[in-house]
Amino acid sequence: MQKQENPTYLKAITIRDPSDIHSIKEDIKKGMILILRVTPLAQKDVDELRKVVEELYKVAKSSGADIARLGEERIIVTPSSVKIWKPEYDLK
């Protein structure tokens, strides 16, 4: 098996406070795959959670990353080399 020179890291993070976003933004810029658990912040302040998610979305898009929700409790962010499959739902 060939060793990859620049591995992509997967990191799981629980967001408890809006101040957690600084290190998350740095991880996005480093090209990490992030699984973000948002339940603790959602339980404290839904409006703050909304602001955090909007900011993460902007950072992800400006970095060429992909971002999506994983169920009710998690968000995934992937680097530009990894795309998230998002099904087209039939709304009939």
pLDDT along the chain (92 residues), means of 10: 79 95 94 96 93 95 94 94 79 48
pLDDT at position 89 is: 60
Q: Which domains are delineated in the chain?
A: 15-78 (3.30.110.150)
Burial group, residue 26, by CB count within 10 angstroms (0-12, 13-18, 19+): exposed
> Which pLDDT belongs to residue 18?
93
> Is 34 within 8 Å of 13 (Cβ atoms)?
yes
pTM attached to this predicted model: 0.85
Where does the chain have alpha helices with state H?
21-29, 39-44, 46-62
